[in-house]
């Protein structure tokens, strides 16, 4: 027991702080890059990896599980050309264009945010129409006859 209550409070505060630091693994040596320096025998050491009871591997770093997938390069040409060369998208675009033209709003609706208006999309689709010349058929599906 201390003679003064102030000395007793200060001693209790220091003892509680030392106990908390020991539980957290903080030492006088310093703080590591991860945040703490664990004491020997401390229970707060993070394992590098753990095999769980169902056989799965657990890792404390969430980036360990991230699969890096190669990014597809963005084309230098507008997206409308990609859509018009794909037969399924082309058919949908032609139907959309015809409906918008029937309602008279094709010059107000755009393909994408800053893309061409649908009256231009209809013109581009008409220009890229696949027609056989002189009774012949195109050799490749990507070959466009104008």
pLDDT given for residue 49 in this prediction: 76
Residue 45 or 90, more confident: 90
**Strand duo 50-51 + 57-58: pairing:** antiparallel
Residue 82's pLDDT band, with cuts at 50, 70 and 90, is: confident
pLDDT digits (tens, 9 = 90+) for 26-55: 665 555 545 555 556 656 556 677 788 888
For residue 68, pLDDT over 60 is answered with: yes
Instruction: Record the tokens describing residue 67, joined without a space.
Output: 């699969």
- What pTM does this model have? 0.40
Cα–Cα dist 129/146, whole Å: 7
Distance separating alpha carbons of residues 121 and 115, to the nearest angstrom:
9
Least trusted range by pLDDT, from 11-15, 35-39, 46-50, 119-123 = 35-39
């Amino acid at each position: 027991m201390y003679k003064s209550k102030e000395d007793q409070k200060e001693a209790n505060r220091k003892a509680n702080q030392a106990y908390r630091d020991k539980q957290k693994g903080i030492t006088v040596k310093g703080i590591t890059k991860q945040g703490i320096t664990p004491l020997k025998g401390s229970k707060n050491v993070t394992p590098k990896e753990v095999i769980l009871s169902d056989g799965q591997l657990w890792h404390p770093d969430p980036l360990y599980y991230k699969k890096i997938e190669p990014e597809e390069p963005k084309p230098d040409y507008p997206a409308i050309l990609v859509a018009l060369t794909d037969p399924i998208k082309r058919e949908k675009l032609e139907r959309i264009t015809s409906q918008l033209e029937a309602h008279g709003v094709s010059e107000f609706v755009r393909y994408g945010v800053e893309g061409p208006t649908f009256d231009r999309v209809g013109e581009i689709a008409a220009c890229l129409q696949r027609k056989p010349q002189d009774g012949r058929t195109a050799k490749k599906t990507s070959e466009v006859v104008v």
